[in-house]
Amino acid sequence: MKKIIFGVSFCLLTTFNLFAQQDTYQPKKTNFFSDVQFGGGLGVGFGSGFTNIAVSPMALKPITEQFSAGLGLQFNYLRSKGFYESTSYGANILGIYSPAEMIQLSAELEQLRVNNTLWQDFGGSSKIAQNFWNTALFLGAGYTTQNVTVGVRYNVLYNENDLVYNQAWMPFIRVFF
């Protein structure tokens, strides 16, 4: 019994002594934004009577080694002269889970305001205007190397009548710095 009491007392005193000698320790002070990654997408397309401009900045914050969360903004302008014109803008929330170093699983909730104009008589005065909100929930999987992820995502709220996306499956490329 004396050996147990002596052993426990020795361990406690040694531990206390070690902690007492570390009085110069300063915890690492980090800014919330010090590990935030920025990225997103930028797209421009021009053709004969066709224009497409897309801008989608995003910020991603690591929460744990495997989980990150982010916010993004989106703007898209599409015009096919005399046939169709669309402007959409909104925001999204992104959650990323990485079960392995090169695998990325994601869930992204997107809310867009969509303003479409369709010409029934190909450039004449007969227009149909559609203004609505569109919600999309994408579940995706991708392959990551360094700061680039290539994958595919599926919109579980896809509606073929909303004139925002032409199908539920979409490839993606994410780049964060």
Per-residue pLDDT of 19-64, as tens digits, reads 444 445 444 556 778 889 999 888 899 999 899 999 999 999 999 9
With CA atoms as reference, report the closest residue to 177 among 57, 77, 76, 1: 57
Tell me what percent of the residues of the chain surpass a pLDDT of 70.
81
Distance CA 148, CA 146 (A): 6
Closest CA to 114 of 59, 57, 76: 76
pLDDT band at 151 (very low <50, low <70, confident <90, very high): very high
Average pLDDT of the chain to the nearest whole number: 84
pLDDT at 11: 43
Q: Are 68 and 39 in contact (CB under 8 A)?
A: no
Q: Give strand pairing partners of 25.
A: none
CA Rg value for the chain: 26
Mean pLDDT of 137-150: 95
**Which amino acid, one-letter code, is at 65?**
E
Band of residue 124 on the pLDDT scale cut at 50, 70, 90:
low
Read off the DSSP letter of residue 122: S
Question: What does the pLDDT look like over 92-123, one tens digit per residue?
Answer: 999 999 999 999 999 999 999 999 998 877 65
Mean pLDDT across the stretch 161-170? 87
Residue 32 confidence (pLDDT): 76
CATH numeric code, 35-175:
2.40.160.20
Beta carbons of 151 and 171 less than 8 angstroms apart: yes
Q: Which one, of 36, 43, 112, lies nearest residue 73 by Cα? A: 112
Euclidean distance between CA atoms 96 and 174, whole angstroms: 11
Domain boundaries in the chain?
Answer: 35-175
Q: Tokens 């579940």 appear where? A: 139
Q: 0.95 exceeded by the pTM?
A: no
Question: What's the pLDDT at 9?
Answer: 46
Q: What is the pLDDT of residue 17?
A: 42
